Amino acid sequence: MSGYILRRLIYGVFVLVGVNVLTFALFFFVNSPDDMARAQLGAKRVTPEAVEKWKLERGYHKPLFLNEKLSGFERVTETVFFDKSVKLFAFKFGESDQGRNIGYDISTRMWPSLAVQLPAFLIGLLVYISFALLMAFFRATALDFWGVVLCVLMMSVSTLFYIIGGQFLFGKLWSLVPISGYNGGFDAVRFLALPVLIGVISGIGGNARWYRTIFLEEISKDYVRTARAKGLSETRVLFRHVLQNAMIPILTGVVVVIPLLFMGALITESFFGIPGLGSYTIDAIGQQDFAIVRAMVFLGSVLYVIGLIMTDVSYTLVDPRVRFS
Amino acid sequence: MTPSIFAFRFELLWTDALVWLLVVTVAGYAAYARARPHLRAPWSRVSRSASGMAAAVILAAFVLVGLLDSVHYRPQLPPQDGKVAYATEVRSLLDRVVEPLRVKREKTYSAPLATHLYAKETLQTADGREVREYPRLRHGGAHLKNPELERTGDIALRAFRGLALALLLWFTLAVGLSAGVAQRAGIGIETAWGDIWRGRTAVPWRAVLCALAVLVVLVGPVAALAPHYHVFGTDKVGQDVLYQSLKSIRTGMVIGTLATLVMLPFALVLGVMAGYFKGRVDDMIQYLYTTLSSIPGVLLIAAAVLMMQVYIENNAALFPTTEIRADVRLIALCVILGVTSWTGLCRLLRGEALKLRELEYIQAAHAFGVSHWRIMMRHIAPNVMHIVMIALVMDFSGLVLAEAVLSYVGVGVDPSTISFGTMINSARLEMAREPMVWWSLAAAFVFMLSLVLAANIFADAVRDAFDPRLVRAGAAA
């Protein structure tokens, strides 16, 4: 087991190296730092001196891979590749193009993100699975049919409309919650209620339908027929047998996103003015802050790799057949 | 002398070329599949699904609008000193069809079917006094002498006329269809009519006719009112919202289809290769798609689009007009969406190829000395096509929805391209206005929902018809 996890960890590191090389290529080969400087400075202020100053302030003035001027170790370490790419592995995100400390920003901003995402994730899971079980229980009846119709209808509506509609109804028309904003402590509940609700509702269509398919696939298997033949009640079959066996496909999709909850939701956070990592990313994209986007790409991949390993481990917990050697 | 409407020059934008290439490909595939029973079978199953056919009718209407909007040209300008010049502005056939909508701009916001602006302005009356009033619209209901009294009646009359005409057209189509069904089955036209309405025909014509009825009932009155009113109101700069909604359709469809087209070769070649060769090749390809899919989608797209923006800004000389720049951005977005989204399908195809390579007929091919390349092309690829087809139709609606989100984040289409995303984005702030401006959002909602919903329902029908597991289960039941 530990050997297996170690192998997965090493593979994960290789994946992160790949991500790093890819982002480095994307950010430094497609456009040179000079191009980025010109784009950031704007057409009017571009002079060779201004470009050099912009690069110097942000550490883009060094050579890409090999610093010929220095000797020994510093030939490799005093380069853009080492500064901007290799240091990410030590979670040294450096400074944003605006001069803020990215590591500090991330460490303060991930908690509001988690405060929205975790409740939305847990409540969502409960709602989706219950709804899907309900449809599976009443399969091939009118309730199932109209449930699926509702799901397809709901998944055809853009997330943007859920957010705008929710803000309009709950925030403006009924004045139940503030339209946007955030506050620390217990006061946060007022601000979080609506984003969490919207997060859950906007996912119902796709998720409930997906879980229903999983349950129906399990229900058509032989062991379920055996269970029924033994005279078990339909509820017992569904909750004891089907639900447990459906855990594997459910876990595959669910566990991997748990670490990514820290990253927040881009759209939700920016609409509701929550100072999390999602709105941080959106602002960075808006300001064309390449350093933050690079850091977030790396962080996202790290969390995804952790999620993959967690998924593997979770299999052993729910399925006694799965043993890693 | 103004030039005639026939004086124009075709302008083939990059997306147009790809869209028409896609149309030709689809037509070629249709002709190819028609002649082969095993390819025809799943499609005839699709044609027997009532919901699928109804959705196909709605989709066809959207496709028609999208294709009309994909024929671009530049009109000829009035000649000066005997020289022939063409306008710098590129128009499409759709612009020509709905010319009144494009040309009739108001000053600013006006509500749907309104005759007056939505905001008060200081006006001068005939005797020189200044009053704060809602000014009349330049075009919306401009033919009315006394809007307060005549408006409701005029709208009702025009809508009714449009509806009547639409229903007449629908009825003609229905009778024509019955005649067609009657001739094919060798029965009387009345029997055919009865069969259709009792749902006894193999192809669910009743569902098709019902969907058509809904379509004409909605389109008829709108088409009748559109030349004289702004049916969905106007936006901040006074542009007709109906016109924007119609233009958004093409953007959504281009992204929905071209992105999948870009993704397809990657997924197909790499997926089949990984599954067929196993070993080293498989490891490499698996590593590649794990790496790509480990980057959260939006972030990867955002990073790529940011870099593309920088490139376009620094090489402005390559893109002379705004249309060309917007078009290149649209293509680039499709390419980026395609390159970042092939991993899911690739994984599925790899799994299927792993299963297929162990089957006897592949081993027989090996024994005959057929080359690897030929085995993959002739024996494996055709047998994974059902997965490809399902992925093609299932991805469409997701991509249309993604466009809206990406445009909101600021990494979507060019701001000058009319799309659902840019419409929602600009309408968002209007919700906070007092009094509220809701119609842009409502129009985007209605159009987007019908497009995505129709695509989803059609995709379900295609999946049901192509998925061998479902087909077998259906045959057994």
Q: State pLDDT tens for residues B205-258.
A: 999 999 999 999 999 988 888 888 888 888 888 888 899 999 999 999 999 999
Residues B432 and B434: their CA atoms lie apart, in Å, by: 7
In chain A, what residues touch B308 (CB-CB under 8 Å)? 30
Whether A325 has a pLDDT exceeding 60, the answer reads no
Strands B91-92 and B121-124: unpaired
Asked if A282 and B410 come within 8 Å (Cβ–Cβ), the reply is: yes
In chain A, what residues touch B420 (CB-CB under 8 Å)? 158
Helices (H) and strands (E) in chain B, counts: 19, 5
In chain B, what residues touch A19 (CB-CB under 8 Å)? 291, 294-295
Give the residue among B49, B458, B32, B12 at the shortest CA–CA distance from B256: B458
Residues B457 and B53: their CA atoms lie apart, in Å, by: 9
Residues B336 and B295: their CA atoms lie apart, in Å, by: 14
Q: Are B242 and B232 in contact (CB under 8 A)?
A: yes
pLDDT digits (tens, 9 = 90+) for A251-263: 888 888 888 888 8
Phi, psi of A56, rounded to the nearest 5 degrees: -65, -45
Pick from A16, A19, A152: which is nearest to B456 by CB?
A152
Whether B128 has a pLDDT exceeding 90, the answer reads no
Strands B130-133 and B91-92: unpaired
Q: Which residue has the tokens 């876990």?
A: A251
- Tell me which of B299, B422, B464 to substitute to probe the interface with A (most A C-beta atoms closer than 10 Å): B299
- Tell me which of B286, B396, B407, B408 to substitute to probe the interface with A (most A C-beta atoms closer than 10 Å): B408
**Sign (positive/negative) of CA torsion B51, B57, B60, B65?**
negative
Q: Which residue has the tokens 């128009």?
A: B91
- Using H for helix, E for strand and C for coil, what is the string for chain A? CHHHHHHHHHHHHHHHHHHHHHHHHHHHCCCCHHHHHHHHHCHHHCCHHHHHHHHHHHCCCCCCCCCCCCCCCHHHHCCHHHHHCHHHHHCCCCECCCCCEHHHHHHHHHHHHHHHHHHHHHHHHHHHHHHHHHHHHCCCCHHHHHHHHHHHHHHCCCHHHHHHHHHHHHHHHCCCCCCCCCCCHHHHHHHHHHHHHHHHHHHHHHHHHHHHHHHHHHHCCHHHHHHHHCCCCHHHHHHHHHHHHCHHHHHHHHHHHCHHHHHCCHHHHHHHCCCCHHHHHHHHHHCCCHHHHHHHHHHHHHHHHHHHHHHHHHHHHHCCCCCCC
Beta bridge partners of B438: none
Q: At what angle do helices B381-409 and B439-466 cross, to 10 degrees?
A: 170
Tell me how many degrees the CA angle B148-B154-B157 measures, rounded to the nearest 5: 150
The burial class, CB within 10 Å (0-12 / 13-18 / 19+), for B158 is middle
Whether B477 has a pLDDT exceeding 60, the answer reads no
Q: What pLDDT is recorded for position B476? A: 38
Residues A306 and B431: their CA atoms lie apart, in Å, by: 41
CB proximity B131 to A under 8 Å: no
Backbone region of residue B129 per phi and psi (left: phi > 0; alpha: psi in -120 to 50; beta: other values): beta
Query: B22-27 — which CB contacts under 8 Å span 24+ positions?
Result: B22/B257, B22/B258, B22/B261, B23/B67
Considering only residues 319 to 338 of chain B, which have any Cβ-Cβ distance to chain A shorter than 8 Å? none
Terminal alpha carbon distance of chain A: 6
3-state secondary structure of B35: coil
Asked if B310 and A39 come within 8 Å (Cβ–Cβ), the reply is: yes
Whether B60 has a pLDDT exceeding 90, the answer reads yes
Pick from B306, B445, B453: which is nearest to A293 by CB?
B306
In chain B, what residues touch A170 (CB-CB under 8 Å)? none
Q: Which residue has the higher pLDDT, B226 or A43?
A: B226
In chain A, what residues touch B300 (CB-CB under 8 Å)? 297
Whether B106 has a pLDDT exceeding 90, the answer reads no
How large is the ipTM? 0.86
Pick from A156, A161, A294: which is nearest to B453 by CB?
A156
Structure tokens belonging to residue B146:
């006394």
* Strand blocks (E) in B3-161: 8-11, 72-75, 91-92, 121-124, 130-133
In chain B, what residues touch A300 (CB-CB under 8 Å)? 294-296, 299
Whether B185 has a pLDDT exceeding 60, the answer reads yes
pLDDT digits (tens, 9 = 90+) for B374-429: 999 999 999 999 899 888 888 899 999 999 888 888 888 888 888 998 888 888 77
Average pLDDT over residues B245-273: 92
3-state secondary structure of B413: coil
In chain A, what residues touch B287 (CB-CB under 8 Å)? 14-15, 18
3-state secondary structure of B12: coil
3-state secondary structure of B130: strand
- Tell me which of A17, A179, A285, A294 to substitute to probe the interface with B (most B C-beta atoms closer than 10 Å): A285
Considering only residues 434 to 463 of chain B, which have any Cβ-Cβ distance to chain A shorter than 8 Å? 441, 445, 448-449, 452-453, 456-457, 460
Q: Which amino acid is at B244?
A: Q
Asked if A297 and B296 come within 8 Å (Cβ–Cβ), the reply is: yes
